[in-house]
Amino acid sequence: MKLDRRAALFGLLSAPAFAQEADFGRRVALGAEARTRVPEIYDPAYRSIAYPMGDVANDRGVCADTVIRAFRAADVDLQQLVHRDMAAAFAAYPKIWGLTRPDTNIDHRRVPNLETFFTRKGARLGREVDVALMEPGDVISWRIPVPHIGVVSTRRINGRPLMVHNVGAGSRLEDVLFEWPVQGWFRYAL
């Protein structure tokens, strides 16, 4: 059962918490928040991983892995979706890494590729964020100056949504929305 798999992947959050939540964005946000309770070592190393539903070791990850795992909590496999879109429209994706074809091991773990995927799927809301309109499960990307990405949580402080992101110390729930220049605001829908 998918819910049991999610509970195992996310450890401390029980399967019923996901099952009771019907809203896709809230499931993404809850999945991201669950990752904050799993110890992680920041590890950007290239790894050969399974496809589909491949993942690096549960105790490893980067900012994109936080987003990928949050979406998996809502039964969305960004590895597979990004790969399929890149295979169909490879020229639309950044050429930063010198690839000549898609690579299921790494493409979904790269922030510029996630930004391109979300934009191509009509999920881009813009570069300017309006905290009053932000919803749990929205995705924000920044330049710090390197590309960075995180998920809007279900929690707010002083009217601002807290973000779940991994900037080097594992997935964290923090008030960092305006800490760095925003590159994109995305809301993916099924």
- How many whole angstroms separate alpha carbon 6 and alpha carbon 78? 15
Please report the pLDDT score of residue 20 as a whole number.
59
Please report the pLDDT score of residue 76 as a whole number.
97
Q: Please give the mean pLDDT across all residues of the chain.
A: 92
Please report the pLDDT score of residue 190 as a whole number.
85
Q: Mean per-residue pLDDT for 171-186?
A: 98
Please report the pLDDT score of residue 22 as a whole number.
80
Please report the pLDDT score of residue 1 as a whole number.
35
pLDDT interval class at 21 (50, 70, 90): low
Q: Structurally, what CATH architecture does the domain formed by 2-186 represent?
A: Alpha-Beta Complex (3.90)
pTM of the model: 0.90
